[in-house]
Amino acid sequence: MLALKELLNGKVRFGLIALAVGLVVALTMLMSAMSEGLITGMTGAKGSLKADALVFQGDTQLALERSLLSAESVSAVAESPGVENAYPVGHAMISVAPAAPEEAKASGDGAGGDEASFDARLFGLGGEWEQLPRVEGEAGPPGPGEAIVDVTAQVDGIELGDTVSLTPIGRELTVVGFTENRRYIMVPTFYVDMPTWEDIYLATALGKTAEEASGQGEDLPEGSQQPPAEGISPALGGSASIVAVELSDGVSPAELEGNLGAGFEVATPEDAALAGNGMSVMVLATDGIQWVSLIIGALFIGVFFYITTLHKTGQIAAMKALGASNVYLYRQLLIQIAVLVTVAAAIGMFLSLGAGMSMPPTMAFDPQPVGWGLSLLAVYVMALVGSFFSLHTILRVDPATALDRGEH
Amino acid sequence: MALLEVQAISKRYGEGHTAVTALEQVSFALEAGQLLAVLGPSGSGKTTLLSIIAGLLHPTSGEVRVGGQSVAEAQGGGAAFRRRNVGIVFQDYHLIPYLSARENLLLVPHLDGRVRGEDRARADGLLEEFGLAPRAGHRPPMLSGGERQRVAVARALMNEPQLMLVDEPTSHLDTERGFQVVELLRAQIHGRGTTCVMVTHDERMAAHADQVIRLLDGRVVDRPATGDKDLSG
Ligand SMILES: Nc1ncnc2c1ncn2[C@@H]1O[C@H](COP(=O)(O)OP(=O)(O)O)[C@@H](O)[C@H]1O
Ligand SMILES: [Mg+2]
């Protein structure tokens, strides 16, 4: 096989270019896996909610952080025409210390400053617990004060059966199970029942007032008049951040938004996931990087073979004079490109798997066979496009020049 | 009937007042098994003539016939015709550098479809005959100039051509080796009944040929060009 013999003859040259293209392939694969991982890590909790539509408070741009629906709103949504089924979902930001620090509790100071404490997100679910894929722990919903946690929290030392304390609010959660791909904003994510969420949400939202109300406000500055938490809690009872709904057949999220009237925003979980937190820009950026690196890879291959082809126009002319057709010569080139891209793809896959394996699990890395397949396909297609430059040269070479030694 | 008929070939490059007339009304005929030496100084039109006979270049007027068939009318742009009927020895050989001597020979049947057992036997026979058997596995860069040229001649014989075209066979070799190659060529041609057109600027080669024509400025002349010591080919 002529094409392969030529490749083997120029092992170093072809090897280097295969390595260069392999690095580019690795880059696109890493980008694909990381952007997939980034999207799952950023929005898994939101985008994977089992629902046809998510109902947010109006004017919140589909942001969980800003949306708060009162108990009346929640039941209004549930009873709205077109809604088959509904359950409330709560969201809160929390600070977690892996183990309950006994002495801190004893001194009545649950405040942070503990180096081991980390940022986390809390989700309350009002049902549909089977939607959380369970990778560890018992199936079934958690009880009060219990949590199912995204498995990446294990990196922060959280284990099954652990009791973590939430600072500075002094609440505790016992880990009864682990789920996966259900993170939010890349931080460990805890799932609890709605009463537990409500308690923690209120405590977080109202800050230290709960403690102050229970008689620990001695060191408040003179004249400071913060309302006691007890006065507010009843007003917020039964509220949720959003409502996840199952729509009747043929009802669209937009129709539901129309039915609900002002004060609500409705979107599919997928759309909601891409709203806020700069998600749409992030997706654009990672897609952009993938495309740019694919194009660079294609240019590498295209230019490399173009230069190689230009260098051997004499040989091509001789082959043509000996009776080789353009089809034959182009096929040889395509075989070489296919071999090179395949070697490069293998190098790229090897490198990206290696890189992926050495990444901590919290790092967003989620290799998708489909994404990688598409990257590879794109490299092949781009290389094919690059080969057209060489084809142009092959077509142009005049076999008569083989007899000529460039005397003119 | 002559195997090769060259009938009133003219070739003009370019147009208008920049046009160059490379060949003017060149005619000759060759019987099977004959070796023709085309002599002439550099720029006299030798390569142009060879290219036209090979079907690689179209004459401005005139016709070339091989075995009674017009080269210009050969099917497939003449590529198939060349693969089956013509063997070319290029001035700088054009051996494929990444193929061994033997593989360079087998390239000919390869380009014509597939390499059969008989092709391999033929290649080995030619390598043996040309004293290249011990070098069969070597690539051209490892061979001497003389060996390379013998590989090029053997390759041109692979398809058992009716017609062999040889461009400046002595330009890369010293006189002694040059004569050896031409003698080898002549033995092959006579032995096989192949017709050969050999182009050279070296007047001494005339002695080895069955027939000689001399070119000067694209025309056939009947006396050697004088005063032209051009050796560049
Ligand atoms: N492709 C070309 N375009 C224009 N002029 C050419 C071309 N090829 C050859 N010539 C001219 O035709 C003449 C004959 O050239 P050539 O056949 O190469 O002579 P030789 O092989 O005897 O040296 C020269 O004057 C050369 O400059
Ligand atoms: Mg010449």
For residues B37 and B211, the answer to whether their CB atoms sit within 8 Å is yes
- Residues A226 and A312 grouped into a single domain: no
Position A225 pLDDT exceeds 60 = no
Q: Which residue has the higher pLDDT, A404 or A292?
A: A292
Cα–Cα distance measured from residue A344 to residue A20, given in angstroms and rounded to the nearest whole number: 8
Whether B82 sits inside 8 A of A323 (CB atoms) is yes
Q: Considering the domain boundaries, does residue A347 fall inside one?
A: yes
pLDDT-based confidence at A106, cuts 50/70/90?
A: very low
User: So what's the pLDDT on residue A207?
Assistant: 63
pLDDT-based confidence at A257, cuts 50/70/90?
A: very high
* Token pair in block for residue A292: 């740019």
User: So what's the pLDDT on residue A229?
Assistant: 53
Min Cα distance B8 → chain A (Å) is 20
Phi, psi (degrees; rounded to nearest 5) at A195: -60, -40
Q: Which residue has the higher pLDDT, A110 or B6?
A: B6
Q: Between the CA of residue B114 and those of A58, A235, B123, what are the distances in Å? A: 75, 89, 14
- Residues A339 and A231 grouped into a single domain: no
pLDDT-based confidence at B225, cuts 50/70/90?
A: low
Query: Among A120-124, A214-218, A284-288, where is mean pLDDT lowest?
Result: A214-218
Per residue in B142-177, pLDDT (tens digit) is 999 889 989 999 999 999 999 999 998 877 777 777
User: So what's the pLDDT on residue A100?
Assistant: 47
**Does the interface ipTM go beyond 0.90?**
no
Tell me the mean pLDDT in the region A146-166.
90
**Is-cis flag, bond preceding A168, omega within 30?**
yes
Tell me the mean pLDDT in the region A328-343.
92
Last residue of a domain, one of A267, A296, A319: A267
User: So what's the pLDDT on residue A232?
Assistant: 62
User: So what's the pLDDT on residue A253?
Assistant: 92
Per residue in B102-122, pLDDT (tens digit) is 999 999 999 988 899 999 999
For residues B149 and B91, the answer to whether their CB atoms sit within 8 Å is no
Position B178 pLDDT exceeds 90 = no
Q: Considering the domain boundaries, does residue A330 fall inside one?
A: yes
Ligand 1 lined by B51 (C-beta under 6 Å):
no
Per residue in B39-62, pLDDT (tens digit) is 999 899 999 999 999 988 899 999
Q: Considering the domain boundaries, does residue A249 fall inside one?
A: yes
For residues B30 and B2, the answer to whether their CB atoms sit within 8 Å is yes
Atom of ligand 1 nearest to the CA of B233: 23
User: So what's the pLDDT on residue B77?
Assistant: 63
- Residues A169 and A105 grouped into a single domain: yes
Instruction: Give this prediction's pTM.
Output: 0.73
pLDDT-based confidence at A204, cuts 50/70/90?
A: confident
| Number of domains chain A contains | 2
Instruction: Note down the domain range covering A204.
Output: 53-267
For ligand 1, atom 5, name the residue with the nearest CA.
Answer: B13
- Residues A247 and A351 grouped into a single domain: no
- Residues A246 and A349 grouped into a single domain: no
Tell me the mean pLDDT in the region A321-327.
89
The string of DSSP letters for B149-199 reads HHHHHHHHHTT--SEEEEE-TTTTS-HHHHHHHHHHHHHHHHHHT-EEEEE
Query: Among A9-18, A74-83, B74-83, where is mean pLDDT lowest?
Result: B74-83
Q: Between the CA of residue A61 and those of A54, A92, A274, B85, B204, what are the distances in Å? A: 12, 17, 11, 79, 95
- Residues A241 and A305 grouped into a single domain: no
Ligand 1 lined by B13 (C-beta under 6 Å):
yes
Q: Considering the domain boundaries, does residue A273 fall inside one?
A: no
User: So what's the pLDDT on residue B84?
Assistant: 84
Ligand 1 geometric centre to CA of A137 (Å)? 87
Window B:117-156, CB contacts with A under 8 Å: 139
Residues in B closer than 8 angstroms to A329, CB to CB, are none
Nearest CA in chain B to A332: B111
Beta bridge partners of A123: A91, A191
User: So what's the pLDDT on residue A104?
Assistant: 45
Tell me the mean pLDDT in the region B13-18.
88
Q: Considering the domain boundaries, does residue A84 fall inside one?
A: yes
Position A109 pLDDT exceeds 60 = no
Whether B112 sits inside 8 A of A318 (CB atoms) is no
Tell me the mean pLDDT in the region A260-288.
86
Atom of ligand 1 nearest to the CA of A407: 18
- Residues A326 and A203 grouped into a single domain: no
Ligand 1 lined by B45 (C-beta under 6 Å):
yes
For residues B72 and B23, the answer to whether their CB atoms sit within 8 Å is no
Closest CA to A89 of A187, A166, A191, A205: A191
- Residues A102 and A76 grouped into a single domain: yes
Position B75 pLDDT exceeds 50 = yes
Position A380 pLDDT exceeds 60 = yes
Mean per-residue pLDDT over chain B, rounded: 88
Query: Of B10, B47, B58, B203, which is best to mutate to test ligand 1, by the most ligand atoms within 8 angstroms of its C-beta?
Result: B47
* Token pair in block for residue A90: 């709560």
Q: Considering the domain boundaries, does residue A104 fall inside one?
A: yes
pLDDT-based confidence at A262, cuts 50/70/90?
A: confident
Cα–Cα distance measured from residue A16 to residue A2, given in angstroms and rounded to the nearest whole number: 20
Q: Considering the domain boundaries, does residue A119 fall inside one?
A: yes
Q: Which residue has the higher pLDDT, A273 or A298?
A: A273
Whether B112 sits inside 8 A of A407 (CB atoms) is no
Position A183 pLDDT exceeds 60 = yes
Per residue in A391-402, pLDDT (tens digit) is 999 999 998 888
Express as a percent the part of chain A with pLDDT over 70: 87
Tell me the mean pLDDT in the region A172-200.
92
User: So what's the pLDDT on residue A330?
Assistant: 94
Residues in B closer than 8 angstroms to A308, CB to CB, are none
User: So what's the pLDDT on residue B224?
Assistant: 60
Q: How many CB pairs under 8 A join A and B?
A: 72
Ligand 1 lined by B43 (C-beta under 6 Å):
yes
Cα radius of gyration (chain A)? 30
Position B183 pLDDT exceeds 90 = no
Cα–Cα distance measured from residue B203 to residue A31, given in angstroms and rounded to the nearest whole number: 70
- Residues A221 and A326 grouped into a single domain: no
Last residue of a domain, one of A267, A288, A319: A267
pLDDT-based confidence at B76, cuts 50/70/90?
A: low
pLDDT-based confidence at B215, cuts 50/70/90?
A: very high
User: So what's the pLDDT on residue B233?
Assistant: 43
Beta bridge partners of B20: B13
- Residues A302 and A255 grouped into a single domain: no
Cα–Cα distance measured from residue B195 to residue B199, given in angstroms and rounded to the nearest whole number: 13
Q: Which H or E element spans position A21?
A: helix A11-47
Position B231 pLDDT exceeds 50 = no
Cα–Cα distance measured from residue A26 to residue A35, given in angstroms and rounded to the nearest whole number: 14
Position B30 pLDDT exceeds 90 = yes
Q: Considering the domain boundaries, does residue A274 fall inside one?
A: no
Whether A403 sits inside 8 A of B56 (CB atoms) is yes
- Residues A198 and A334 grouped into a single domain: no
User: So what's the pLDDT on residue B204?
Assistant: 83
- Residues A85 and A25 grouped into a single domain: no
Beta bridge partners of A195: none
